[in-house]
Chain A
Amino acid sequence: MIQTLFLLASRSAWSRKGSLLLLLLSVITSACLLLGIDLARQSAKASFSNAVAGTDLIVGAQTSPVSLLLYSVFRIGQATRNVPYAEFERLEQDPRVKSALPIALGDSYQGFAVVGTKAIYFDQFLYGARQNLQFAQGRAFENYSVGKPAGVLFEAVLGAEVAKRLKHKVGDKIALSHGMQIQQTEPSHADKPFTVVGVLQPTGTPVDQSVHISLAGMEAIHVDWAAGVPVPGAEIPAEYVTKFNLQPKSVTAVLLGLNNRAGVFRMQRELESRPNAALSAILPGVALSTLWQTVGVVERVLLFVAALVSVVSALGLTSVMLVTLGQRRREMAVLRSTGAGPRTVFGLLFLESALVMWVGVALGVLVLALGGAALAPWVQAQFGLQLVGLKELGAGLLAVLSFAAFGSLLGLVPAFQAYRNQLQDGLNPKTN
């Protein structure tokens, strides 16, 4: 009986495939929209938390937690003030601190952020499931100390995406720009080019979009600069910079890993109350959830719109089914005269709505899974976002399942209408 129902429903549906295909498309689109929004949301959350996995505290100049998090980790926005280098050294020597990684921002290379740091960054920075950075090619830059040749200063390690997009390999020379200038005829630090000494493996974090140089190197390209512009007539060639004091004066932020994570709140309070330092110390997890709360409104609006679109497409399906019932009375009468009872006809109509819904939703999930896989490299390159797998989309999958269930339930309306028609009409199709 069920087999007969399926056979009839699918054959009948196939004979009207033109209009059903359009309905199917609208269901697919709705399912993709529902899932896609969740995919973007979960991917953003996963990427953001991956990037701060190994960091217990982020220390920067006094500012709001969210903006400190955004500029220090995600290179979004700019710091207005910096942390004095002496404060960084104090943190470095603090017995409670396991790792203190300085971050000095402000320069860029072809739109990618330049990060001034120390060589230990490559050993101690943790991301994702507390993984270490790995080199795809080459090595870390060398820490500079007085007496070493000037070449040591101008070594750079590229994030995976930078190397891939700009087709760089170890040995290439790159010229940095001051600030975040994207396209300019002449990079403003072209007088002191850097040599690529290493390329990192992809991490799915902002590290991939960063160019890493030493703090001393960053100092060196600015020796002949003052107040953000080159001092006219005072150009100092790269080979002479070693004659100057290259001790950094400040860093933008410090990523702290603690020996004992339980002490994180005490440490935070203590850092923020340090006299004369005006520091902010934030817990990345807390700052992230503040960020998500802020973004949550937008997220909810998007979900609400997606839900509305889904309701509209389910209603569209139902109304088309209702309209076509009039044209299908003959079909229903033939079915009845050959022995299909009103319940069979009810089942047939319900099955058709349900088939369109579930097939549409299944195809929508498939489209999103395939599309997600196909677009993942592009999204990674464009937005630095690593798309999560479908199995991470609990809420999204629940939403599309509810959508399919809701649409199927609405299918009861035309089914019931057909049932009633069946009882009213006689057996003879010509009576219509």
Chain B
Amino acid sequence: MTLAVLRCNNLVFKYASSGFELRIPEFSMQAGDTVFLEGDSGSGKSTLLNLIAGVLLPQSGHVSLMGQNLSTLSASQCDSLRVDHIGFLFQQFNLLSYLSVLDNVTLPCKFSKRRKQNALMQAGTVQQSAERLLNALGMGKYLNQSVSTLSVGQQQRVAAARALIGQPDLIIADEPTSALDAGHQAQFVQLLLAQAAEQNTAVLLVSHDPGLAQHCAKRQHMGQWQA
């Protein structure tokens, strides 16, 4: 059996203040998997993502990333494991306004040796790798532009290229299309998933819009995990 990219096992997390509780008996993702995670606001999506990122730790059970139990790692080990293996993509404000499009995309390769190595293997240089991804996402014309001149849709594509660079094993896309207009949402998800599939990166797509579920291979509802 191949190594699971992500695995949650007998996970229990409870907020002492609100009493909200998340129970996940078993959830895993293999290389190249695409999972659509749906749930209303307040259903614990952000909590789950923070657990997967190692920002929150479960009261019992464990989260493993590339076979490593996050609970057993120090904070800085967890940080480096995260950047090596996960690309993040959020609803909005993903970019640093003072860097160019290209510099924003190459940022993860500055913090992760592994992703830099991957980028080098894929395209020769980190910059060429970033250019290739930006071209594939239709952003080839904007390489050296300041990100503040881009539209929200264009900014999301740049953020997608950044999540993809250096071939992470998993991309966590948290409501990546919510800020886009309806016509572009499906197109954006398709582009993202196509690029992820090309480099065998698993994608966890979190959204409240059930219409996007058709693009993913699996579908998971948060409601099943609430206690």
Contacts and interface: CB of A to CB of B under 8 A. Distances in A.
Interface string A107-143: 0000000000000000000000000000000000000
A8 to B, nearest CB: 8
B55 A430 contact: no
A14 B79 CA distance: 28
Contact of A4 (B49, B75, B96, B110): B110
Interface string A1-32: 10010001001101100000000000000000
B148 to A, nearest CB: 9
B27 interface: no
A52 to B, nearest CB: 59
A427 B50 contact: yes
Contacts of B55: 426-427
Contacts of B83: 338-339
A341 B80 contact: yes
B90 A14 contact: no
B75 A427 contact: no
A426 B108 contact: no
A257 interface: no
A335 interface: yes
A335 B162 CA distance: 12
Contacts of B93: 330, 334, 429-430
Contacts of B46: 426, 428, 431
Given A427-B53, A428-B49, A428-B174, A339 B90 contact: no
Contacts of A431: 46
Contact of A331 (B75, B96, B112): B96
B79 A429 contact: no
Given A426-B46, A430-B91, A14 B98 contact: yes
A344 B76 CA distance: 11
B191 interface: no
A381 interface: no
Q: Is the interface of A mostly helix, strand, loop or mixed?
A: helix
Looking at B46, B49, B76, B93, the one whose CB has the most chain A CB atoms below 10 A away is: B93
Contact of B96 (A335, A344, A428): A335
A339 B174 contact: no
A341 B88 contact: no
B111 interface: yes
Contacts of A334: 93-96
Interface in B115-172: 115, 162
Interface in B45-83: 46, 49-50, 53, 55, 75-76, 79-80, 82-83
Interface residues of B, number: 30
A11 B104 CA distance: 12
Contacts of B115: 339
B92 interface: yes
A339 B112 contact: yes
B94 A429 contact: yes
B90 A429 contact: yes
B190 interface: no
Nearest to A427: B53
Contacts of B96: 8, 11-12, 331, 334-335
A423 B112 CA distance: 19
A1 B82 CA distance: 17
A410 interface: no
Interface string A311-352: 000000000000000000011001101111111100000000
Contacts of B80: 339, 341
Nearest to B105: A338
B98 A343 contact: no
A339 B82 contact: yes
Nearest to B89: A337
Contacts of B224: none
Contacts of A343: 76
Given A338-B88, A341-B79, A427-B53, A15 B98 contact: yes
Contact of B88 (A1, A331, A344, A427): A427
A341 B98 contact: no
A342 B88 CA distance: 17
B53 A426 contact: yes
B226 interface: no
Given A338-B111, A427-B88, A428-B49, 7 more contacts: A338-B107, A341-B79, A342-B79, A423-B75, A426-B49, A429-B92, A430-B90
7 contacts: A12-B98, A330-B93, A334-B94, A339-B108, A428-B90, A430-B91, A430-B92
